[in-house]
Structure 1
Amino acid sequence: MTTPSNDPLHGVTLQGILEALVAHYEWSGLAERIDIRCFKSDPSIKSSLTFLRKTPWAREKVEALYIKLQRSKRPV
């Protein structure tokens, strides 16, 4: 029997995280929360994924925002 993972990012791709954040905040809201040029200047999923895969500090911020969003959506 497999125990479910407590990791909120388990089974979620970086692309899925980014798409969920863009769907919720839109690019402008995402750029306000995380100061990254690829969110401000001609943003796209593809260019953002390329940047985030090469930049650990930026990826950590995106993942943290995603976790915060998922926690706020959970019913209490």
Structure 2
Amino acid sequence: MAGLDDDPNDPVVVTGYKATHARKLSISQKGADRARAAGRAPVERGFARLRNWRHSPRSAPTPPTPPLPAGTDTNLEVNR
């Protein structure tokens, strides 16, 4: 969360709240988790797109051609 703490010598790590079976989250804690997730989602989506850019159908290589049978003439010149 940008602008949360401006002191570079004392950084702050923002973590979410975690509910347990014995302790449920309050409404304000749920709201804080939602706000944190809303700020985090676009960043996570960007990293996911960077990780998976190779798997796009447009960037997929063409499949290899099958091998030619033995004795096939590989000369591609056309006789006139």
**Is TM-score (shorter-chain normalized) higher than 0.5?**
no
Q: Which has the higher contact order (CA 8 A, sep 6+)?
A: 1
Structure having the larger proportion of residues in helix: 1
Select the structure of larger CA radius of gyration.
2
